[in-house]
Amino acid sequence: MDAVIDVRGVSKRFGGLTAVNNCSLSVERGSITGLIGPNGAGKSTLFNMVAGNIVPDSGTIMFDGADVTGLKPHELFRRGMLRTFQIAHEFSNMTALENLMMVPGDQPGESLLNTWFRPGRVAANDAAVRQKALDVIDFLKLAHVKNELAGNLSGGQKKLLELGRTMMVDAHVVLLDEVAAGVNKTLLQDLAANIERMNTELGYTFFVIEHDMDLIGRLCDPVIVMAQGEKIAEGPMEEIRANPEIVEAYFGSPVEAA
Ligand SMILES: Nc1ncnc2c1ncn2[C@@H]1O[C@H](COP(=O)(O)OP(=O)(O)OP(=O)(O)O)[C@@H](O)[C@H]1O
């Protein structure tokens, strides 16, 4: 297996509580890997450690073959890993196109993150950036709203725009948190289709935390199941759904209802 993310024996405690317990798992390059499990299983804590938001107490996190344990999000970004749907909010008084142009492709991670947090420093005159933004808008099939103020876009369109930012900076590994939250069913299909196209046509790897089991089933293979801070299963969603022990022990009901 060609693991782009390799989590090795990682633990994290909060006071007396062990949120992640000697957990090992990996994400194969080119996959869309899902991470599911009951509330409190440790998914967010694990994600936070992979993304550089929390430093593990012990264990190692490898990215692209290098030990990145303890590196900060912007340092990981420089290496091609980006977490989305949490870091960036659209600038509502700028158009969809301008929002993408706020993300110049050739800037190092630190200053790039600054442009997201501090509007005003824009490479808006750069023809290459503009062309790239237009290409991304086309790819995401958002051309009809490119001159619309981002604040007027629907929740799903805003999420597409965030996905678009990822494409502006050529991150090749994207961590997605709760993509489905607050998005209506129709737009969710668009979002899922775009994630699939970024994966198959552009070679992006995705690591996805999601509570919507239908979306996980559609997008992710493999699916990793966590419970009580540990990985307890991994496989295609059909296998996970068909495993009565996992379903009973960790979901307490059929997975469809989880
Ligand atoms: N900053 C923190 N301080 C103290 N305890 C924490 C902190 N973050 C998480 N925990 C605890 O660690 C455990 C794992 O939480 P985590 O959020 O990682 O689980 P999760 O699988 O993402 O759950 P959910 O699906 O509900 O988001 C929980 O018991 C939680 O209360």
CATH number at residue 212: 3.40.50.300
User: What is the residue type of 256?
Assistant: E
Residue with tokens 């977490």: 83
Strands (E), 99-214: 173-177, 205-209
Mean of pLDDT over the chain: 84
CA distance 257 to 35: 17
Average pLDDT, stretch 217-221? 94
pLDDT of amino acid 250? 65
For residue 117, pLDDT over 80 is answered with no
pLDDT of amino acid 252? 59
For residue 257, pLDDT over 50 is answered with no
Alpha-carbon Rg for the chain, nearest whole angstrom, is: 18
| Confidence tier at 132 by pLDDT (50, 70, 90) | confident
Q: Is residue 84 a contact partner of residue 38, using CB atoms and an 8 Å limit?
A: no
pLDDT of amino acid 124? 46
Strands (E), the chain: 3-14, 17-28, 32-36, 58-63, 66-67, 81-84, 173-177, 205-209, 223-227, 230-235
Here the tokens at position 80 are 């091609």
If one residue of 13, 17, 49, 230 were mutated to test the ligand 1 pocket, choosing by the most ligand atoms within 8 A of its CB, it would be 17
Share of the chain above pLDDT 90, in %: 47
| Confidence tier at 159 by pLDDT (50, 70, 90) | confident
Pick the atom of ligand 1 nearest to 37's CA.
21
Q: Is residue 54 a contact partner of residue 12, using CB atoms and an 8 Å limit?
A: yes
Output DSSP code: residue 145.
Answer: G
pTM above 0.80, yes or no: yes
Q: Is residue 208 a contact partner of residue 34, using CB atoms and an 8 Å limit?
A: yes
Give the binding-site residues of ligand 1, using a 6 Å CB cut-off. 14, 17, 19, 37, 39-45
Three-state SS at 9: strand
Pick the atom of ligand 1 nearest to 46's CA.
18
Of 153, 190, 192, 157, nearest in space to 176 by CA: 192
| Confidence tier at 143 by pLDDT (50, 70, 90) | very high
If one residue of 36, 45, 85, 175 were mutated to test the ligand 1 pocket, choosing by the most ligand atoms within 8 A of its CB, it would be 45
Average pLDDT, stretch 24-51? 95
pLDDT of amino acid 66? 97
CA distance 92 to 10: 39
pLDDT of amino acid 187? 80
Cβ neighbour number for residue 173 with a 10 Å cutoff: 22
| Confidence tier at 11 by pLDDT (50, 70, 90) | very high
| Confidence tier at 239 by pLDDT (50, 70, 90) | very high
Name the residue range of residue 249's domain.
Answer: 3-257
End-to-end CA distance of the chain: 30
Taking CA atoms only, the protein residue closest to ligand 1 atom 3 is 14
pLDDT of amino acid 83? 84
For 234, what's the count of Cα atoms within 13 Å in the CB-facing half-sphere?
14
Taking CA atoms only, the protein residue closest to ligand 1 atom 25 is 39
Instruction: Identify the residue with better confidence: 96 or 256.
Output: 96
pLDDT of amino acid 156? 83
Total structural domains in the chain? 1
CA distance 106 to 113: 12
Output DSSP code: residue 250.
Answer: I
pLDDT of amino acid 217? 92
Average pLDDT, stretch 215-240? 94
Instruction: Identify the residue with better confidence: 191 or 88.
Output: 191
If one residue of 35, 36, 39, 47 were mutated to test the ligand 1 pocket, choosing by the most ligand atoms within 8 A of its CB, it would be 39
For residue 107, pLDDT over 50 is answered with no
Of 55, 6, 19, nearest in space to 230 by CA: 19
Q: Is residue 25 a contact partner of residue 211, using CB atoms and an 8 Å limit?
A: no
